Chain A
């Protein structure tokens, strides 16, 4: 007789990291952390199968609070590092977490190119429209006119639109969440992880300490879930139109998805036909390969 040992399915709690978050009480990032823990548990993933890569900033402390392999890298560079991880070992589930300054400011170049390449990553941007860790300066997503420590007379730059930027640059799964709606976040994150390409979720994650404009109340009065609007995520024109709305009504949910575009690793010739990851193949080349190379040199 054999006894079948079944491990208990993991729950969100099993994805709690070694230390508790040092975020300010009430920070929007708590909700995204919780939603991510719930999402990976519901998808049946184990901590060792996931790599969570971040840059620098309050929200980039995320990997320390999340039980999986993690890389807490340089400011703005998480997407570049994560691309290296995913391409070298495509069997890993790679999450990228960070803030608006990290992703849309200092890391803006990588954001453009990661989207264009359609790298199979889930990018969760905790967008608080302010630089929090440096105690409250203007960010690339701060509203026009916003007063911060570095714009005491009001911001004269227009904010980036993460949703249209992501779509225009080629991201194939583009959503927006809000820390005040964990259920929707879980739906978006699960969809993003399952999506075979670059998935961006811009999350309104209010900074309760330094942003007095874009508060929970500000968003609660405006957010409108796209699910309730009959929006078709394959319609990029409609997605962009809805993403441009801001003042009265701000849409959340899945704006855009295109499953027809292959991800970068799916296009990579040396990974053709389910080849093993380059991280785990034998290093040495063969005598035959060496001889072919040397013959061409003669």
Chain B
């Protein structure tokens, strides 16, 4: 299979050195050429200092992960050079400011592209000059005409005025010309696809999914890595008529969301594990009062404060068990940014239909990653189905029972303000009328009736939500099982394994609760060797799969160092399992790139 152009640029430096700007400029240049982008930013919870490594993979075909290699390393400080030069293979480039950074030991065939930045710019004081000069070098190495970079710089800096644009263009040109005179460009120039692409982060996608689904109330407390959703919402609120509130804590967020949703507004909130823990009581209240709300948990490495800027799939059981009691909820783990976008629309129709809460499990990898997306794939007009919602007077003077025990368990839901439908919703158990049966008049018959009514609501759930299917080779020697954000990297690992002649297939689970137990059991019934891949230590999904299906996997590939899987981590794990060289059944790949 032809791989086409596939090139990863890593920009490394300390927080505050201005990594984002060259990253943005390059990203825009790539997607305007119609090239696919998958960028992962490894960073720390620090505003100045530390070590950041932004890896941008640009590809002629779709890029499902941030890849295995660094083809060009831009070092903004010595630390970056020291950490990562050894990862560069033959033909790779190291671009750096030769005034203050020295390369060390390196493999043969690495292009060392030192820029005499002070000499090129005539300005020893401007600390950002090396970033711009480097863009000139990168544009040359990629075989681009300088005009392409010039227009990208103009676009980036035009808000800051003509002087800023022209000084940046001059520095970039000096870098470009120095590179032309001294460095060898890539043999395969950066290609161009016919149609330009757009670029978004996973958090943008989640927010846009909400906007498209008709979210009119969004509230949040800032928490990495979910804050991007709040930022998108806040920025676009006025234009889209979305009310956005920043609340004092996540307890307030979740409860405010419940209140807003009760009035009929589609309501969403996002947080990460710690905030989600604070939200849990309110999630149960939404279930008890039968109010549809979508709660997003963007998972990061835990427990407790954990590693705020690192990824993990460690909150599965937290979502499954969020809030006390035994109640119906939907848990879904989207597989990538575009999937996150469209999942939100689907989830809103489900929660409106079933009048229950839903939990969307994203993670840092999806949410803070930057990805290309074909603009025509951004369908912001999903079907909007509000279920049995009564928002206007229908002349019905009653009697109205909010929790009417209907055949499908779903009761017509009137919102406050509608005449003839006055009722009280309660977090206490209640009867069909909404009258409490918790304190003075407990009633086992009515309690059972209400528990069964709520449970029955989801009876037709499986007819509305796609079951996972086996994808890949028939008669595979190994079947890979993943959930949520690992779908893309597993697919790339499978491509690598196939190139080695390994027959492999997989199932990617997205809809977690209720669980497609029959479909998954059927899908795995023919598997010769089942390996479960997840970004946590204890195998949370494996335990869940076993509890729902009785299936025990033959082996595991797990990563819990805070960094996401790279394709070769999984491919290596599969090879090791096939060779029988995994002791204890769990393969844990080493994270080679230390960030």
Binding site for B on A (CB under 8 A): 17-19, 22, 46-49, 51-53, 56, 61, 63-64, 67-74, 77, 80-89, 91-92, 109-110, 112-113, 268-271, 275, 277-285, 287, 289-290, 292-294, 297-298
Contact = CB atoms under 8 A, between A and B. Distances in A.
Nearest to B439: A22
Contacts of B204: 297
Interface in B226-284: 236-243, 245, 247-249, 251-252, 255-267, 281-282
A64 to B, nearest CB: 6
Given A53-B259, A285-B240, A293-B380, A74 B282 contact: yes
29 contacts: A17-B424, A22-B440, A48-B416, A53-B259, A61-B439, A69-B417, A72-B426, A80-B251, A81-B255, A81-B262, A83-B245, A84-B217, A84-B260, A84-B263, A85-B260, A87-B260, A88-B216, A89-B263, A89-B264, A109-B248, A277-B265, A278-B241, A278-B242, A279-B415, A283-B214, A283-B216, A285-B212, A290-B380, A298-B198
B427 A69 contact: no
Contacts of B236: 293
B436 A88 contact: no
Interface of B: 31-32, 196-200, 204, 208, 211-214, 216-217, 219, 236-243, 245, 247-249, 251-252, 255-267, 281-282, 285, 289, 373, 375, 378, 380-381, 384, 386, 391, 415-428, 433, 435-436, 439-440
Contacts of B211: 285, 293
A63 B424 contact: yes
Contacts of B262: 71, 81, 84-85
B281 A74 contact: yes
Nearest to A278: B216
B243 A290 contact: no
Contacts of A113: 247-248, 252
Given A113-B247, A290-B381, 10 more contacts: A64-B426, A73-B285, A74-B255, A88-B216, A91-B417, A278-B217, A278-B241, A282-B214, A284-B381, A297-B204
Contact of A298 (B196, B282, B384, B418): B196
A280 B418 CA distance: 12
A88 B251 contact: no
A69 B264 CA distance: 14
Contacts of A74: 255, 281-282, 285, 427
B433 A18 contact: yes
B391 A67 contact: no
Contact of B416 (A51, A56, A284): A51
B263 A85 contact: yes
Given A72-B424, A80-B256, A84-B257, A280 B248 contact: no
A92 B418 CA distance: 11
Nearest to B239: A289
B243 A270 contact: yes
A271 B380 CA distance: 24
B208 A280 contact: no
B422 A69 contact: yes
B588 to A, nearest CB: 37
B91 to A, nearest CB: 31
A73 B421 contact: no
Contacts of A287: 381
A85 B380 CA distance: 27
A77 B433 CA distance: 23
B417 A49 contact: yes
B375 A81 contact: no
Contacts of A85: 259-260, 262-263, 416
Contact of B240 (A56, A80, A280, A289): A289
A68 B436 CA distance: 15
A46 B420 CA distance: 11
Contacts of A68: 422
A61 B436 contact: yes
A109 B252 contact: yes
A139 B31 CA distance: 61
A284 to B, nearest CB: 6
A99 to B, nearest CB: 15
Nearest to A56: B427
A81 B251 CA distance: 10
A77 B282 CA distance: 9
Given A48-B422, A64-B426, A294-B378, A69 B208 contact: no
A110 B282 contact: no
A55 B200 CA distance: 41
A285 B261 CA distance: 19
B258 A73 contact: yes
Contacts of A70: 423-426
Contacts of B415: 89, 279
Contacts of B426: 63-64, 70-72
A53 B386 CA distance: 24
Contact of A92 (B217, B251, B252, B417): B417
Contacts of A269: 237-238
Nearest to B421: A48
A282 B386 CA distance: 11
Contacts of A82: 259
B417 A89 contact: yes
